[in-house]
Structure 1
Amino acid sequence: MSTPAQSAAPPPATESTSLAATLPPSRSLSPNPFLVMAFLLLISLIGFGGYRASEYQGMQILRTDAGHRLDLFAAAVDGIVNRYAHIPATIQLNEEVLGVMQRTRHPGSIVAANRFLQRLNEHIGSIAIFVVNERGIVIASSNWGDPDNSFVGEDLSFRSYFLDGLAGRSGHHFAIGITRGEPGYFVSHPIRSGNRVVGVAVIKISLGQLDKAWDLLGAPALIADGNGVVILTSVPEWRYTALTPLPLDTRVDIKLSRLYNDGPIGDFPVSVNPDPGPEGQIVHMNLRSSSPGVPAVRGRPDVAGSYLVHGRGLQDVGWRLLIFSDLRPVRAQAFGHGALAAVATGFVLLLLLVVAQRRRIVRQKLEAKELLEQANAQLESKVARRTRALTDTNARLRKEVAERQQAEQTLRAAQDELVQAAKLAVLGQLAAGITHELAQPLGAMRTLSGNAVEFMKRGNLATVEQNLGIIARLADQMGRIITPLKTFARKSPAIPAPADLAHAVGAALFLLDQRLAKAGISVDNRLEAGQHIAWCDQNRLEQVLINLIRNAGDAMAESPLKTLQIDAVQLPDGSLELAIADSGCGLPADGALFEPFFTTKPAGEGLGLGLAISRDIVREFGGDLRAENRPEGGARFILNLPAAPKESP
């Protein structure tokens, strides 16, 4: 039924809709995906550009720094190697040396030449100074007094520096000594007698000082001779490797001259251009963390990375100096600059977006303010009309609320009357059984009282006392029969209290005992007193149980096996479930079991209100009533009841 309040509700919604239509459309802050992609692309491009610019600048600084370090180290090499390169040219000025070069030399002249070379070597601090005759045999040497390391008598005709000196040229060569296997820089000069070359003067300069100077470069470095073979390096694994593949003729010359003492010449770990040019060459390789200029990494002896190679030629000795500058710091710094550029760009774009959004919000507020002022003028004209309409509507609502409250009270009173009528109907059905139960004790009491009078006349007081005791027990038995009837028939309001489910079930079964026994129904009551205490009105609960047990008995009227099972369990949430199961015909499939006036009994045997009223009673307790079919046949009605609160200590 529609009410005035319901008919008056739509107009305010219509007004709010019209008001919303007058306001400007809301501009949400949801971003445009294409705009977001454009912003991200711009930030990425600027970040990449910052990375490339920083990398380029860092590479230029690295090239300049590497050039300075190469110049300083080249000057150091030149100072170490060429400091005594003029000594062989002055040896031929000594008469003792010229004397041992003559064919008819005196034995004493060899000793004099050895001593001169020894004194000269001790003065300048080289490894050795010696002279070789035109056949390549060492005839005098500064280390003549050391029998294990003396060069005297050695055949050096295969050495390149001897061949250069014999040809009248100054020789400059790196070689490994054949006596002690010690590498050194050999400088040779021809010894002339007139216009004829009669021998060669040679000085062997130590390169040990260069091995101590690698740390000054602060980066891995190497020195390659004219053949492209690494002769000095800060990385031990690189020593005596060829920067580029050696031609066959070069390998043959190396083999014949024994420059590297017949040791194998390996390949350099990576392909390196001996002359990388001013821009340098970038190579990728693994270096041991113990090498100079390579950062140590715990647990990783090899460090992979990219390196910028720069070179410088040592013109006086014909060598090539290469330095390997680590690019990781440059690229790490470039990555930081690129990230900083990207973040700065993002911040600027975000700031611009915030400013633009703020301007948009201010503009929207101004537009909304103007429209709200217009709408306010319209609303003020409608307030009076709506106020009067709402006043009338409220008056009608109060009247309807009062009518509904009166109807609910009438309905509740009718429901209580129906419950009481159902109780009285049950009592009427139980009258015959109760009469039978009371007739037997009454007849016995009548007989025993008459006998007591006779025995009293005879003076047999013991028998009289015995008969009176039996009469008292029969009276108590009749009281136990009548008390549940009085409690069940009493009309009282539902007052929740702790109720023992076993007592309530026992009272219901007692009232229906004759009916169940007459129908041949066996009862399996699994409840024990004191185990399940519910919070409900026990009188109303007994009414529900009687209704459910009667319905179960009616459902088993045609069943060959008639069993009524009653059980209760406590759920994890603390509530109780009381189940009444039968072996009858089961429940209908239409689901209208709890609807008022629905019944499966024949006409005239039921109104169809018992289950609806029972569920309402249980719901008043805060519980519920549901029904289901049993898999083995029959139906099960389940009462869900709240548990009684525990008493505080």
Structure 2
Amino acid sequence: MSEPSSAPQTPPSRQLSPNPFIVAAFLLVIGLIGFGGYRASEYQGMQTLRTDAGHRLDLFAAAVDGIVNRYAHIPATIQLNEEVLNVMHKPRSAASVLAANRFLQRLNGHIGSIAIFVVDERGIVLASSNWDHPDDSFIGEDLSFRSYYLDGLAGRVGRHFAIGITRSEPGYFVSHPIRDGERVVGVAVIKISLGQLDKAWELLGAPALIADGNGVVILSSVPEWRYTALNPLPLDTLVDIKMSRLYNDGLIGDFPVRIDEAMGPEGQIVHMNLRQHPPRSRQDIAGSYLVHGRPLTELGWRLQIFSDLRPVRAQAFGHAALASVATGFVLLLLLVVAQRRRIIGQKLEAKTLLEQANAQLESKVARRTKALTDTNARLRKEVTERLQAEQTLRAAQDELVQAAKLAVLGQLAAGITHELAQPLGAMRTLSGNAIEFMKRGNLPTVEQNLGIIARLADQMGRIITPLKTFARKSPAIPAPADLAHAVGAALFLLDQRLAKADITVINRCEAGRDIAWCDQNRLEQVLINLIRNAADAMADAAHRELLIEAGPGEAGNIELSIADSGSGLPENGQLFEPFFTTKPAGEGLGLGLAISRDIVREFGGDLRAENRPAGGARFILQLPAAPKEKP
């Protein structure tokens, strides 16, 4: 039998399948070529569209200028007429007014404007070309609010679009001051019809609009756009429009899209719904449009034209498809040749590459495994050391707490001896008397003496029991603890010291009201330490008062505060640091507050300190509230 060949056999599927990366690269190239063709065609089409739009804007701007400015010089010549000057000097003369009216009527009939009229200094129309039309005559109208009147009265030429207040007919108003020497005695105004501009929209062959100096559309081939603001109007502009009634108190709507006022010669592309009346086809309803603008400087207007981009993009898509197909055909030929050569090279290099990859992988796995093993060993060692350090720290802390308890008991020994000496002496005397009365047979007196001895024994038990509980060394086990009982036990142990120091104690804790979740024995140790510190702080104070309060705090906690009238706290912020103390040398190690805060934090609470506004210090214990019992 012949040995099996060690050369790897290439699967048939791999021999027939092209490299996916090559295919992806070819597809990417085809896509880029197609995209480039699209962008190039679109750019060329946009340039052509911009050039065409510029020609159409120039043509329409010339038409607008010819329609509007043809009679703009008329108001300047009106002041040369004697009838007009007479009516300005004699406004109440019927003959002067009639002569001025007939002159303006003849002039208006000759040029074909909507109306020509003159206004006095108060803004009242004195004479008008439509004086003989009683329904819509301008005679007597107050136009003092109009912008063109204010410009003329100020000695300037006014040019404004406005809607008439009589017939609500839009028009272009041109005003000129009427002077008598250096003085302006009135204003001559001509209202030019803009109806011919509606017939000129066909010159553009695309949706278009004209906006005035406020950015409000005053003329448009799309009726829905009229009297809309291309951009949100400032408040002061809205106020001026309201006062001048340029648009006859009409509501100024919002343009369907935001138009950039500072657009350059490249224009602006917008996406919007354009409604044609009547609609020419279904494609006229929506699409993308290239907006070009041209300022009409003399009129203070701006002409905007919206060129449809759909033909440009359709042509660009066609060019992109053609470029992609041609590129794909060329790349497909190159792919076939390159794939054949690549398959041969891959068969020769496959084994070598595979062996190298396996060797590198095995080496890397070995290094990673060793590094991971070493890291795990170090972590286990560090965890063990930290657990031991934590246990040692807790044991040391417990020993410090117990030592502090015993130190307190030692300091309280004299007071406790005094408290126990009196009941013991009384018990000795009463027991001796009871023996004598028993010998005499006076049993009622003996019974009375024994009852007094029992009460004295109970009193001694009440003195000793808190000492036994306080001195007991036990682990901290949280449980419901009545703050009033803990405060009472601490005050009992320090009663002699507080009385000797002449300290007035105000305890506002009520039994059964504030129940905390902590170890009561440890809490009493903290309270004794804080009360002793407060007593030491009030040693040199003229007024010595200790105030203890408890109540609900933030986030459902219970706060217990111990306030004194001493000298207050230092401002260096080292109060809770170990071995920091404000007491004289030899009277403290500076560990009491640090240990107390650690004890409280074991309960899930905290200890903080602050100076009282009235003087002295306040220590606040934040303790978790005991969970409420389920009914």
Q: TM-score, normalised by structure 2?
A: 0.50
Give me the TM-score of the superposition, normalised by structure 1.
0.49
